[in-house]
A = this chain, B = another copy of it.
Amino acid sequence: MRSEELHETLLPKRLALPIFASDPLSSVAYATQEILLVLTLGGLAYLHFTPWIAAAVVALMTVVVLSYRQVVHAYPSGGGSYEVASTNLGASAGLVVAASLLVDYVMTVAVSVASGVDNIISAMPSLADHRVGMAIGFVALLTGANLRGTRESGRAFAVPTYLFITSVLIMVGTGLFRYLLGDAPVAESAAYGVEAEPADAGLAGFALVMLCLRAFSSGCTALTGVEAISNGVPAFRKPKSKNAATTMAVMGTIAVVMFVGVTTMALVAKVHITEDPCRLTGLEGDCSSYTQRTVIAQLASSVFGGESSFGFYFVQAATALVLILAANTAFNGFPLLSSILAQHRYLPRQLHNRGDRLAFSNGILALAITAGLLLWFYKANVTNLIHLYILGVFTSFTLSQTGMVRHWNRELRSPQTPPEVRRRAQVTRVINALGAMVTGLVLVIVLATKFTQGAWLAVVAAIVLWVTMRGIRRHYDATAAELAVTDPHAELTRPSRVVAIVLVSTIHKPTLRALAYARAFRPDQLEALTVAVDRDETSALQRQWEELDTDVPLKVIDSPYREITRPVVEYIRSIRRSSPREVVGVFIPEYVVGHWWEQLLHNQSALWLKSRLLFTPGVMVTSVPWQLASSARADHPAARAPGAARRGEPVPHRPSGPPLAKPKDSPHD
């Protein structure tokens, strides 16, 4: 896409909603289930806490959506939490958000795919043995699609997301309608009892509160992905902020309605689900091979009349599809965030360019491999993976809301702020402060209840990322300081003399070309240089050289230890020592070949010599290529074919930012 075209692909709200909301909406598919799984650790007795926990999640969701609507208005450039935190709380805090989000993108892929596979297995139980294989297969599929560069198409996202919303709402509506008519749907697991885990039976006081908090932590997965819209403001049609805020409100409302609906129906239909199917009582047959269906599947089956009904399959297909799409959003978000971080020099510069498919591909592969390993290690078990999730989400919520409070404090301190703005700022500051406190509290709860269950791994990963990114930034800063121009006049001064040295090992066309090119530069002094490792070969070379009858002398340097690089480097250093204001240009004849295996057969020593010469001050190294016939083939696709440059070409400059998020006023750049 040409740079100019990027600005023409702005999104109407009806497309922006499914594009940015497939992740948060899809979490409805597992949030209720995760709450139930924790509560049934203590048997069926604690299920009556479900409404309260769900209410807490809804309240939290409301606060977070309201808070983020303020972010959308205040930071329309799309930097999201990262920008808010780094602008208001400093670079280190911003980097904490960035590291958390990078970890969370990985978890989004893992959890969404695992849950998608869960719902497929619920529809086709015979696939239960292939859980991990299917999960990794989906990751591979997404990787392949993204590596090939399929751009997210609005329409392709819109259809499944709307299908999912519609089907879940119809399911909930039908179920409630039947309930009101006195024909409440009954889940297949309603008849089963659940034995409490010995450790969690008959809890009271603090222990009971902790169990409820664990259930609440798990339910908070419903909030993952909420901030996606705040990253995407620049992609909205004008007025961007207003449209984005509206979309966010719509998204929040739909998510709350779906979550409440599913949770209510799960209680109405008496879905009894547990982490370990062997704790189910009244089960016929072998419990260890029994696969419990997901909550969504049990509801769909009970509402629409069994596992062969059209409605059941429809709900399952829509659910699985939207979950896979949610995983795909991470495949877009991860390289995008990497590119912003690279622009701020926290990641290698070459990751910056969005058009740079090579760097982009590296990001996609890193994401896919990490997610694949997690799926393999945790056997694609949603519940186990959930423990690593949401920690990053709430870190980023808390820091960005705190940042927003600072933002309003600053606005309010400024005497230029007009009174009507001042009034609004005071209100939104309260909202953001509430958001910061609530999400901070949830962060503490999540840490306390999940740390030992696996969340420590996410914490360690985020810390490692944070330290690495700071190190990279420090390196770039040090380099920039070292390279800054201090005295342009002195630095532009031409060296007094140029000595050109052509390296000769045998006399063939590449050598002669190197000699001819070196002469074309008219250096102050020109000589050919060879290293004598074999007496016979060297004297043969000297004879041939004389026959050539050029005006260029052939200098022979001895190499008692039969090496090449060291004598050459030392010879050049000696020239520089005797006249430091001279500069030495070393001309190296090189063959250019067409295949990587041909490269293995040639130029190894030239490469090594070049790399050593570059360490020598006052030297420039000129490669004089000789293109062998086979090189023409290799040259063709990459340098001439019209679409070629888009495949695998890194780009050195800092180009225009990615279309969806360029923090124009970032403090780091």
Question: Chain A residues in contact with chain B, CB under 8 A?
Answer: 1-4, 348-350, 353, 355, 472, 475-476, 479-480, 482-486, 488, 491-495, 497-498, 505, 507-510, 512-513, 515-517, 519-523, 531, 533-535, 537, 548, 550, 560-566, 569, 583, 585, 587, 590-592, 598, 600-602, 604-606, 608-610, 612, 614-617, 619-629, 631, 634-635, 638-639, 644-646, 649-656
Chain B positions within 8 Å of A492 at CB level: 512, 515-516, 548, 550
Task: Let me know if A654 and B534 touch, CB within 8 A.
Answer: yes
A4 to B601, CA, bound (A): 29
Chain A interface SS verdict (over half): mixed
A653 to B506, CA, bound (A): 9
A348 to B596, CA, bound (A): 13
A25: min CB distance to chain B, Å? 34
Task: Let me know if A3 and B516 touch, CB within 8 A.
Answer: no
Chain B positions within 8 Å of A639 at CB level: 565-566, 569, 612, 615-616
A646 to B562, CA, bound (A): 10
A113: min CB distance to chain B, Å? 30
Task: Let me know if A483 and B591 touch, CB within 8 A.
Answer: yes
Chain B positions within 8 Å of A531 at CB level: 653
A509 to B484, CA, bound (A): 6
A553: min CB distance to chain B, Å? 15
- When C-beta atoms are compared, the residue in chain B nearest to A479 turns out to be B628
A436: min CB distance to chain B, Å? 35
- When C-beta atoms are compared, the residue in chain B nearest to A644 turns out to be B566
Q: A566-B649, A653-B534 are in contact. Are A592 and B609 (CB under 8 A)?
A: no
14 A-B residue pairs with CB within 8 Å: A4-B560, A349-B604, A475-B601, A482-B629, A492-B548, A494-B520, A495-B516, A566-B644, A605-B650, A615-B631, A616-B625, A616-B635, A621-B622, A623-B623
Chain B positions within 8 Å of A475 at CB level: 598, 601
Q: Out of B4, B353, B509, which one reaches A485, CB within 8 Å? A: B509
Task: Let me know if A520 and B583 touch, CB within 8 A.
Answer: yes
Task: Let me know if A537 and B621 touch, CB within 8 A.
Answer: no
Q: Out of B355, B560, B610, B612, which one reaches A563, CB within 8 Å? A: B355
Chain B positions within 8 Å of A517 at CB level: 495, 498, 583, 585, 620
Q: Out of B1, B491, B598, B649, which one reaches A516, CB within 8 Å? A: B491
Q: Out of B476, B512, B521, B550, which one reaches A523, CB within 8 Å? A: B521
Sample of 6 more A-B contacts, CB < 8 Å, known A488-B548, A564-B651: A484-B508, A498-B521, A564-B652, A604-B650, A612-B639, A621-B623
Q: Out of B495, B562, B612, B653, which one reaches A655, CB within 8 Å? A: B562
Chain B positions within 8 Å of A627 at CB level: 614-615, 617
A495 to B517, CA, bound (A): 7
The 4 closest A-B pairs by CB, nearest first: A605-B652, A533-B655, A483-B508, A615-B635
Q: A623-B610, A645-B561 are in contact. Are A656 and B495 (CB under 8 A)?
A: no
Task: Let me know if B564 and A2 touch, CB within 8 A.
Answer: no
Q: A2-B560, A513-B491, A562-B3 are in contact. Are A533 and B601 (CB under 8 A)?
A: no
A341: min CB distance to chain B, Å? 13
Q: A534-B654, A638-B612 are in contact. Are A560 and B3 (CB under 8 A)?
A: yes
Task: Let me know if B652 and A606 touch, CB within 8 A.
Answer: yes
Task: Let me know if B488 and A512 touch, CB within 8 A.
Answer: yes
Task: Let me know if A653 and B564 touch, CB within 8 A.
Answer: yes
Task: Let me know if A614 and B623 touch, CB within 8 A.
Answer: yes
Task: Let me know if B562 and A651 touch, CB within 8 A.
Answer: yes
A349 to B491, CA, bound (A): 42
A628 to B492, CA, bound (A): 18
A534 to B353, CA, bound (A): 11
- When C-beta atoms are compared, the residue in chain B nearest to A472 turns out to be B601
Q: Out of B491, B521, B537, B626, which one reaches A521, CB within 8 Å? A: B521
Q: Out of B505, B598, B604, which one reaches A350, CB within 8 Å? A: B604
Chain B positions within 8 Å of A622 at CB level: 585, 620-623
A493 to B350, CA, bound (A): 41
A625 to B610, CA, bound (A): 11
Chain B positions within 8 Å of A485 at CB level: 507-509, 512
A108 to B359, CA, bound (A): 46
Chain B positions within 8 Å of A583 at CB level: 517, 520
Q: Out of B516, B520, B625, which one reaches A615, CB within 8 Å? A: B625
A247: min CB distance to chain B, Å? 29
A550 to B493, CA, bound (A): 11
Chain B positions within 8 Å of A610 at CB level: 623
A482 to B513, CA, bound (A): 14
